[in-house]
Amino acid sequence: MHIEDILRNIASQIANNYTDPGVKASYLQAAERLRYPYWDWAASDVPTKGLPSIFTNLTLSVNTPPFNLPTNVANPLRAYSFVDTVGTPFGAGDIYNPQNGATYQVPVGYIYSAPGYSTVRQPVNGYATNDDAVQSSVKLAAAASFIPALFQMFQTTEFEPFSNHYATVPNRGSQNATHFLQYASLEGVHDSVHRAVGGLGGHFRFNTMAGFDPVFFLHHCNVDRVFALWQALYPDQWIEPSLSPQGTFTIPMNTTVDVNTELTPFYRRAGDRYYNSNDMRDVLALGYTYPELAKFQNLTMDKRRKVVFDMYRPNRNTTYEVRWYIGLDKVVATGVPGAFSVHVFLNPQTPVGVDTPLTDPTYCGSADFSSGMSSSIKTYEGVVELTDCMVRLKRTINSIPGNPVGDPETALSSLAGWPVLYSDLAYVTEGYNGQDFSQYVKLDNVTIFYTYEKGNNGKFIRGAEPKTPNIVGKK
């Protein structure tokens, strides 16, 4: 909010430089209403259009002061040019910052931040953004990860599994669980956007550098918006005391945090203390709203859910009675050197690895984890939808053997007749640098499960496929 105050002040200063009184007044009014915009990466057109051109154009035409005449300027949303050496995710200093970008070879996986370098996305040799690779990656990820994950995430009725992908929910994913909570989290889909845009060696892929890419703020503003939509569906849910495995610069690792934990370094306007989570709970009280929230005011909860699920339903032109997923219940990362992804494939006919393109027809989707370097053991969870891949490979999706749709309590002990089996699935763990991370990352538990929307009203029933002991998937 404070940074938006600064932006509005700068915008007002610029507006005052226009000579025409009417033009000046309109720009001053616009400056007063200025807020960070958001990029809805799960909108229905992203699988076909990819990253909006406002992030990729080399130049923009801007009506500049004093005479409001169009002028071509370098597009500030394409990249940020470093003016100081800010170090790297691997340590302070400029050890990884060469003096000649032409020496960069893909996929080194390092990022450069020396003066004169600009932020890059999906970089190629010569350290330049590969726009075609960015667009292909974003389109594919939107269809396979962003939209399905958001659709799953909005089914989550509890705050902790909604908010993060640490495997801390008791009994989650176990055979003895009385409910199936293998939903995508907001943190998980957030991480997928970072992977799709940044790619191997792009600044946006690294936690410590992502904020320099201009996409960052519009991405995180959409995260704020999605959070607000989820709150509107589940207004009684809020932060419960929980462990912070990674900690922050001011919170030690494995500290219990709650609604009163200080959100350092952000100080309240009154200057009396740091903000805490309760201060930020009501976006309307903070002076913000979103188009959907304005529509929700006179709607019942059922109708609100229907609006959201219709907005983010995968394959909006196709109605599947049943949707299938693989819940990655326990992803154990030991001494992981950085961000990684788990790519899921359905019945590949040849062995898959980090060199297998994600355009392969057996590719289902990915769960992404923006982990920093860590010498400790961390446990995550994620989810990947299988439905579209099953349809593509002509698997039956609307049949649940011996378990009629609408009655998930009658689980079978037999695997006979199920349209997808644990042994059908193969997994690839790929690191931020394109390397195989199987030495660091293990899948200790997975659950194939399904959901069925009863009456198209945003209410779901679900069930899980019975497990075969010790089978996770193809090796």
What is the residue-wise DSSP string for 140-198?
A: HHIIIIIHHHHHHHTT--SHHHHH--BS-STTTT-TT-SS---PPPHHHHHHHHHHHHH
Return the amino acid letter for 34.
L
The pLDDT of residue 462 = 76
What are the start-end ranges of the E strands in 335-375? Answer: 340-346, 363-369
pTM: 0.89
Sign of the torsion formed by the C-alpha atoms of 397, 400, 405 and 408: negative
Question: Does residue 302 contact residue 457 with C-beta atoms inside 8 Å?
Answer: yes
pLDDT tens per residue across span 268-320 = 877 789 999 999 999 988 888 999 998 898 899 989 998 999 899 887 666 67
Tell me the pLDDT of the chain averaged across its residues: 84
- The Cα-based distances of 13 to 63, 214, 311 in angstroms read 15, 22, 39
Burial 320-337 (b: 16+ CB within 10 A, else e): bebbbbbbbbbbbbeebb
Q: Name the nearest CA neighbour of 90 among 107, 108, 111.
A: 111
The pLDDT of residue 412 = 44
Q: What span, in angstroms and rounded, lies between the C-alpha atoms of 341 and 196? A: 11
Q: What span, in angstroms and rounded, lies between the C-alpha atoms of 184 and 46? A: 19
Q: Is the pLDDT assigned to residue 104 strictly greater than 90?
A: no
As a residue count, the chain comes to: 475
Return the amino acid letter for 7.
L
pLDDT tens per residue across span 137-156 = 999 999 999 999 999 899 88
The pLDDT of residue 164 = 85
Percent with pLDDT over 70 in the chain: 83
pLDDT tens per residue across span 12-23 = 999 999 999 999
Q: What span, in angstroms and rounded, lies between the C-alpha atoms of 298 and 443? A: 45
Q: Is the pLDDT assigned to residue 475 strictly greater than 50?
A: no
For 293, phi then psi, to 5°, come to -65, -35
Banded model confidence at residue 93, pLDDT cuts 50, 70, 90? very low
Q: Is the pLDDT assigned to residue 381 strictly greater than 60?
A: yes
User: Max Cα separation, the chain?
Assistant: 78
Sign of the torsion formed by the C-alpha atoms of 299, 303, 309 and 312: negative
Q: Which pair of tokens denotes residue 146?
A: 């962003």
The pLDDT of residue 117 = 80
How many Cβ atoms sit within 10 Å of the Cβ of residue 421? 14
Q: What span, in angstroms and rounded, lies between the C-alpha atoms of 390 and 385? A: 10
How many Cβ atoms sit within 10 Å of the Cβ of residue 248? 14
Q: What span, in angstroms and rounded, lies between the C-alpha atoms of 109 and 140? A: 21
Looking at the DSSP assignment, which residues form a beta bridge with residue 324? Answer: 450
Tell me the average pLDDT across 158-182: 59
Tell me the average pLDDT across 25-50: 95
For 81, phi then psi, to 5°, come to -100, 125
Burial of 75 (0-12, 13-18, 19+ CB in 10 A): middle
Question: Does residue 168 contact residue 369 with C-beta atoms inside 8 Å?
Answer: no
Q: What span, in angstroms and rounded, lies between the C-alpha atoms of 324 and 448? A: 7
- The Cα-based distances of 46 to 115, 193, 202 in angstroms read 33, 12, 20
Question: Does residue 343 contact residue 366 with C-beta atoms inside 8 Å?
Answer: yes
Q: Name the nearest CA neighbour of 24 among 68, 60, 62.
A: 68
The pLDDT of residue 165 = 83
The pLDDT of residue 410 = 45
Contacts for 349-352: CB closer than 8 Å, 24+ residues apart:
351/426, 352/426, 352/428
DSSP letter, residue 210: G
Q: Is the pLDDT assigned to residue 102 strictly greater than 80?
A: no
Looking at the DSSP assignment, which residues form a beta bridge with residue 256? Answer: 243
> Is pLDDT larger for residue 291 or for residue 417?
291
- What lies within 8 Å, CB to CB, of 326 at 6+ separation is 344, 364, 383, 384, 386, 425, 446, 447, 448
Residue identified by tokens 């669980």 is 177
> Is pLDDT larger for residue 118 or for residue 18?
18
Q: Which pair of tokens denotes residue 471?
A: 């089978």
The pLDDT of residue 103 = 59
